Amino acid sequence: MRAEIITIGDELLYGQIEDSNSPFVAEKLTSSGLKVVFKTSVGDDITRIAEAFETARSRVDVIIATGGLGPTSDDLTKKAIVKTFKRNLVLHPEILKNIEDSFQKRGIPMPSINQNQALIPQGTKALSNLWGIAPGIFLEDENTLFFALPGVPVEMQWMLENEVMPMLRAKRVSGSTGAESFILHRKLKTTGISESALFEKIEKLIDPKEEIKIAFLPTLLGVTIRLTMESEEKDPAETKLDEYERKVREILGSLIYGVDEQTLEEVVGRLLFERKKTIAVAESCTGGLLGSRITNISGSSRYFERGVVTYSNQSKTELLKIPPEDIEKYGAVSKEIALLMAEGVRKLARSDFGLSVTGIAGPTGGTPQKPVGLVYIGFAYERDSFAERFIFGQDRRSIRERAAQAALNVVRLFMLNGQRI
Number of domains observed in the structure of the chain? 3
Evaluate whether 384 touches 394 at the Cβ level (below 8 Å): no
DSSP state, residue 55: H
- 391 and 271 share one domain: yes
* Residue 153 shares a structural domain with residue 191: no
Torsion angles phi and psi, residue 183, rounded to 5: -115, 110
The pLDDT, as a whole number, for residue 175 is 56
pLDDT at position 177, please?
44
Q: Are residues 195 and 342 in the same domain?
A: no
Same domain, 215 and 140: no
Residues of the chain with pLDDT under 70: 173-181, 419-421
Could you tell me if 296 and 337 lie in one domain?
yes
In Å, what is the CA distance from 99 to each residue of 35, 116, 128, 308?
35, 10, 12, 44
Residue after which a domain boundary falls, among 231, 259, 287: 259
52: domain CATH number is 3.40.980.10
The pLDDT, as a whole number, for residue 179 is 53
- Domain of residue 6 covers 2-175
Model pTM above 0.75: yes
Residue 235, pLDDT score: 83
Strand order from edge to edge, sheet including 353-359:
304-309, 279-283, 353-359, 374-380, 385-391
Quick one: angle between helices 396-417 and 264-274, nearest 10? 30
Which residue among 239, 259, 279 closes a domain?
A: 259
Give the pLDDT score at 72.
83
How far, in whole angstroms, is CA 203 from its chain's centroid?
28
End-to-end CA distance of the chain: 46
Backbone φ and ψ of 7, nearest 5°: -105, 135
Instruction: Give burial (CB, 10 Å; 0-12/13-18/19+) of 201.
Output: middle
pLDDT at 231: 80
